A and B are shown apart, each in its own frame.
Chain A
Amino acid sequence: DTEVTQTPKHLVMGMTNKKSLKCEQHMGHRAMYWYKQKAKKPPELMFVYSYEKLSINESVPSRFSPECPNSSLLNLHLHALQPEDSALYLCASSHYGTQETQYFGPGTRLLVL
């Protein structure tokens, strides 16, 4: 089973709202990732967690706050977003975070009004 699940599937929020995206995998993977994808573009890496510790932050604005409560779960907390943050947010996981295959979830489509 190579399934990564994400909730919600769609999210609409105002610029003053606080919301969270959730990602879950049960493949025993120890690395998890958040990507942002704009229309007609490849995904852009935001954060990497390895063994539940943040290992890479690609200079993402602080209005995005990741959290890894355990090895199966990854959250992305959103606060005071801008309309330009509207995008597809993808979660992925891999065994150890080195050169292995990354498996992606279906994504959360976010619209910021």
Chain B
Amino acid sequence: GNSVTQMEGPVTLSEEAFLTINCTYTATGYPSLFWYVQYPGEGLQLLLKATKADDKGSNKGFEATYRKETTSFHLEKGSVQVSDSAVYFCALISAGGTSYGKLTFGQGTILTVHP
């Protein structure tokens, strides 16, 4: 079956530091890959996505590149802000197999950014 593995958190950074959250996956076929962000007390917001190999998703200074050879989709940001403090979920949807159309999430990474 499909699975997503995220780096364990929590991650604590100072403002303006560089952020990397690792995400690797196992899936049948050619999945679409997503990063969702959940701010305290809120639902999930789509942060970025990529639908095929070598695609780069980007939004609000965050980037992630779909690497099929390493089955990875690491999230990066060059300079984090206090307002980026949230939980980040890596996720995939597979195009085939028994998981068709279902979002598979990683466990989530809690990010805290201090001033």
Binding site for B on A (CB under 8 A): 2, 6, 31, 40-43, 45, 48, 56, 88, 90, 92, 97-107
CB distance from A23 to the nearest CB of B (A): 11
Complex Cα–Cα for A100 and B91 (A): 12
Measured CB to CB, the nearest residue on chain A to B108 is: A42
By DSSP majority rule, is chain B's interface helix, strand, loop, or mixed? Answer: strand
Residues of B within 8 A of A103 (CB): 46
Contact pick for A42, options B42, B106, B110, CB 8 Å: B106
Chain A: interface secondary structure?
loop
Chain B 83-115 against A: per-residue CB contact (8 Å), 1 yes, 0 no? 000000101011100001111011110100000
Interface residue? B43 (CB, 8 A):
yes
Q: What would 30 A/B residue contacts be, using CB atoms closer than 8 Å?
A: A2-B46, A31-B101, A40-B108, A40-B110, A41-B107, A41-B108, A42-B89, A42-B91, A42-B106, A42-B107, A45-B102, A45-B103, A56-B101, A88-B43, A90-B43, A90-B44, A98-B93, A99-B32, A99-B93, A99-B94, A100-B32, A101-B49, A102-B93, A102-B103, A103-B46, A104-B36, A104-B44, A104-B45, A104-B46, A106-B42
Tell me the complex Cα distance, A90–B44, Å. 8
Closest residue of chain B to A43 (Cβ to Cβ) is B105
User: How far does the alpha carbon of A3 sit from the alpha carbon of B100 in the complex, in Å?
Assistant: 24
Question: Which of A41, A88, A99, A103 has the largest number of chain B CB atoms within 10 A?
Answer: A99
How near does chain B come to A34, taking the closest CB pair, in angstroms? 12
User: B25 contacts the other chain (Cβ, under 8 Å)?
Assistant: no
- B34 touches A (CB below 8 Å): yes
Chain B residues with CB under 8 A of A105: 43
Question: Which A residues are CB-close (under 8 A) to B94?
Answer: 99
